[in-house]
Amino acid sequence: MKRGILAAVLAACAAAGTIHPAAQAGFLALMPGFPLWAYGYKTPPAAPEDWSGRCPGETPRDCDRPGGMPADTTGTKLSLAGSDRTFTVAEITSPYNPADWFPGDHPPMPDIVGRGKAATRFRACAICHYPTGSGLMQNAPVAGLPVDYFLRQLAEFANGKRKSADINKANAWEMAAMARNLTPDEARQAAAYYSSIPFRQWNRVVESETVPAFTATINNLFLKAEGDETEPLGRRLVEMPEDTYQSNMLRNPRSGMVVYAPVGSLKAGEALVKTGAGKTQACGVCHGPDLRGTALAPPIAGRQPGYLARQMYDFQTGSRGGDMASLMKPAAEKLTGDDLIAIAAYVASLQP
């Protein structure tokens, strides 16, 4: 991103009150308590102009391949156990027709989901959220969301009410731009499609004092490093693919994630979720006793912990507004960093 464009983006965000006043054009000053792990960082993010090396164009929307994916140099057809299809890496990561290994796992995809709109560089929904709506740690699990809720989120992205507390989060800017460029019919097609797919849990939560050594990609995905080295887990959750090759090379929608959580997280999270523990209200009041959603609030059981923590923090800081913000902000405002870890770990461990 050129410096002039960067300055304009930061100035607009500051004027709108969407970034912390300490954010400067050179470096992003994070608010105290910013949960790096939830946004896919091992260390604080670099200056926003670092976007310039990520994509061929000048804005985050010009990223046409998921971060961390290898370049296609051979054109070799790859296969996947259980699928009768083969794809090259270029086909697997195509922004306008990404590989669909298991078409029997979901209904027929509408064009906006499976192909997007190449003429305007509008990437297919499936490139980030997968044909099954499971998503990865850096984006949202959208399968099984009620149609009305889905459409409301698109509208709030489009009108600027739903933002990320991390101004470096490129896919949040992209979602807002995409939401503004959806026709009402396309939005409803995507909502109806993903709503029709039951969300399946693919998080395995493990309490531990250590985590396999890992790296963070430019697209905010944690990947296990080569070898068997470990590092202290500390006060964070680390969510990574069970099998790096299956997830990062093949984009296998049946290959899940493992979540490393500090020892004691599940018990602490259960208390916060079920009783509020004097800091919040029980989550079941709005999300239902099994956290599988109500007419008021979406289902959250079993969903990715990074996504859950980001939403709580975004509500807490006021970055995420919209119709339900008046309910969620009071519920999140007293939560500490350890509370976010505990709640996210426990909710992710539940059956959806």
Tens-digit pLDDT profile for residues 6-56: 333 444 343 333 333 333 333 345 677 899 999 999 988 765 544 434 433
Q: How far is CA 108 from the centre of its chain?
A: 24
The pLDDT of residue 25 is 33
The CA-atom distances, in angstroms, between 257 and each of 198, 247, 260, 265 are: 18, 9, 10, 18
Copy the structure tokens of residue 36.
């790096």
Low-confidence ranges of the chain (pLDDT < 50): 1-28, 49-68
Question: Where are the chain's structural domains?
Answer: 78-195, 203-349
Q: Do domains 78-195 and 203-349 have the same CATH topology?
A: yes
Q: What is the pLDDT of residue 74?
A: 65
pLDDT score, position 47 = 59
Q: Which fold has domain 203-349?
A: Cytochrome Bc1 Complex; Chain D, domain 2 (1.10.760)
Residue reference for tokens 């909710």? 347
CA–CA–CA angle 180, 130, 182 (5° rounding): 15
pTM: 0.85
C-alpha–C-alpha distance, residues 19 and 28, integer Å: 9
CA dihedral of 66, 72, 77, 80, whole degrees rounded to 10 = -30
Starting at the edge strand that comes first in sequence, how are the strands of the sheet with 203-207 ordered?
203-207, 257-261, 238-241
Q: What pLDDT is attached to residue 223?
A: 95
Bridge partner list, 216:
222
At 322 the pLDDT is 87
Q: Are 200 and 256 in contact (CB under 8 A)?
A: no
Do residues 320 and 280 touch, judged by C-beta distance below 8 A? no
Looking at domain 78-195, does it have CATH number 1.10.3720.10?
Answer: no
Distance CA 300, CA 344 (A): 10
Cα–Cα distance, 1 to 114 (Å, whole number): 28
Q: Are 311 and 334 in contact (CB under 8 A)?
A: no
Q: Give the model's pLDDT for residue 54.
A: 42
pLDDT tens, position by position, 186-222: 999 999 999 999 999 889 999 999 999 999 988 899 9
Distance CA 28, CA 24 (A): 6
Q: Which residues fall within 8 angstroms of residue 287, CB to CB, at 6 or more apart?
A: 293, 294, 297, 298, 299, 300
Name the token pair of 264. Answer: 């004691």
